Structure 1
């Protein structure tokens, strides 16, 4: 979807790649951060992206081993941190890479400092993109040594009602000819300007139309959908 946020992300990433810099993309869950970053990088740097992701609070040791696997270094990881770092820096100096750290809100100040350590090394040839929630922004912004190295900050927010009416009809054919008032009603009760919520809402709506043998979305169809999404009768 060519939303304003996606187009801004593409422009920002182009600048970050050109400068071989750091970027922080932050915002609430489900607003399209990861999708926009991945879609933009497929266009801008398809062969240079290395993605890492953490589901729990990592340590610098976790980052080392995750990078070792993501970079397909091969062999046995060095036993000592100094040797490990030397190896990673050597690999990251071979050619330019964009390192994308998703779910960056899980990282501590110590972890962010480790990323800075890799980026600061004169031999490494990298840009770093942090994608995460509010904690990611808070940790980065309150540390001058970290925040001063972030070249671009981009906050993702929920779509406004006007953006929903512009974007959602192009998002899926089920909404293409739907009354704007119905789309607004769906957004108020279930979409909430959130792309992830709208994706789930759309999937349920497609099923509802088939189940109810309807060809257009109306409030009755949405009532069936809302019950599915909330687990409560409308």
Structure 2
């Protein structure tokens, strides 16, 4: 499946919708929100294709709310030929935690063998059947022993494995310090918020509330509050809908938007300058 991405659109055309991705997972349970094919999704999909073809690793980093996890989910949805597994981990997981999480992810209907060697044998046998993509979110929290266990599975000559590591903002640089990743990683991606020219068209596509809002009002709100961060736009949309339902207000104009923003925390790192 190939979706129209930013490179396929004119600057005045809204982003496409990613079918099969539940926006509810990413946008605050916001009723009516849509899963958008943004430049972040496009970048992650390109990186995923390189990593999967090489049966290698991909590392994705970026500030909170910029769409890292969403972009990975969306990219994997477009590559329905890949068997993807999102591995849930507790904070600061070690080798034993990852062993247990992998067993429950790959074989949810089977009890995990108590013996670590037997558990490893079962996991490796599963990873040898066909190419699998293992996704680890908040990967900067993985301990050294956890990374060593991932390396142990990856370096098995018979396993077919692509590993996607998503690094949170507070762990910036943590993956770069892992020497085991450097020779095994096909793509290092750092995602940023949407640039203004993309955000101005993404916001109306994100939710029907903004379909009739003047573009100047959206640009003003984006510059003051969201700065290309779709998670912040989801929060603003949710607040607007609740206020409208309570007060009967129907016009999402610039004055209304800025009254809402006055009630929100506008603190956010400045949008990075592009070279």
Q: Normalising by structure 1, what TM-score?
A: 0.88
Matched, 1:103 2:115: no
| Equivalent residue in structure 1 for 2:124, among 76, 86, 89 | 89
* Alignment partners' CA distance in 2, 1:52 and 1:98: 10
1:96 offset after TM fit, Å?
A: 1.8
Query: Across the two proteins, how many residue pairs are aligned to each other?
Result: 230
SS of match in other structure, 2:134: strand
* Alignment partners' CA distance in 2, 1:138 and 1:199: 28
Instruction: Give CA-to-partner distance per residue, 1:90-125, whole Å, 9 cap, x none.
Output: 111122211111121211232122112111101111
1:197 offset after TM fit, Å?
A: 1.1
Unpaired runs of 5+ residues, structure 1, are: none
SS of match in other structure, 2:250: coil
1:216 offset after TM fit, Å?
A: 2.6
| Equivalent residue in structure 1 for 2:237, among 189, 202, 212 | 202
Q: Normalising by structure 2, what TM-score?
A: 0.76
* Alignment partners' CA distance in 2, 1:75 and 1:10: 32
Matched, 1:171 2:206: yes
Distance 1:53 1:29, change over 3 A: farther
- Aligned twin of 2:177: 142
1:187 offset after TM fit, Å?
A: 1.8
Cα contact 2:167–2:175 (8 A) shared by 1: no
Distance 1:225 1:210, change over 3 A: same
Please identify, of 214-223 and 171-180, the stretch whose mean Cα deviation from structure 2 is larger: 214-223
* Alignment partners' CA distance in 2, 1:133 and 1:42: 22
Cα contact 1:26–1:154 (8 A) shared by 2: yes
Matched, 1:56 2:103: no
1:35 offset after TM fit, Å?
A: 0.8
Please identify, of 187-196 and 113-122, the stretch whose mean Cα deviation from structure 2 is larger: 187-196
1:57 offset after TM fit, Å?
A: 1.1
Unpaired runs of 5+ residues, structure 2, are: 1-35, 266-275
Q: Report which of the two has the higher share of helix.
A: 1
Distance 1:46 1:55, change over 3 A: farther
1:136 offset after TM fit, Å?
A: 5.2
Matched, 1:66 2:95: no
Distance 1:111 1:134, change over 3 A: farther
